[in-house]
Amino acid sequence: MITDPDKIARIRAFLGSTLWNEDLKPAIAQRGGMAIKALCRSPDAREGEFKNTKDEDLRAIIREAEFQMVWWENEVKVFDHNQARDELARQQQEAEAGLTPQPSAP
């Protein structure tokens, strides 16, 4: 889990980039989709990149593609969730101490 706000900011920028959205993400999705199609065929009927690929290797390629497609976005979501949770805990502590809640620095 990434906890550094600067790293999360760079990941957000990467996820918004044309490199990710127009090049890498579609390429990863396409490769995963091709592996799924190859897995649906018998080993003798497979062609191209996956011609001599074992079923377990195809499953690993599919898992890796799925992981790459969602991992970065999930890291940002987890970071945001943790930040919100920490802010709520801080506000709760202030309320219990009888202090006036002040917005925290971003």
Domain ranges, residue 49: 5-96
Per-residue pLDDT, averaged over 14-34, amounts to: 97
Per-residue pLDDT tens over the stretch 25-82: 999 999 999 999 999 999 999 999 999 999 999 999 999 999 999 999 999 999 999 9
* 82 in any annotated domain: yes
* 74 in any annotated domain: yes
* 79 in any annotated domain: yes
Token pair belonging to 5: 């706000």
Q: Residue 98: pLDDT band by 50, 70, 90 thresholds?
A: confident
Q: How many domains does the chain have?
A: 1
Query: Does pLDDT of 23 surpass 60?
Result: yes
* 33 in any annotated domain: yes
The model carries a pTM of 0.75
End-to-end Cα, the chain, rounded Å: 19
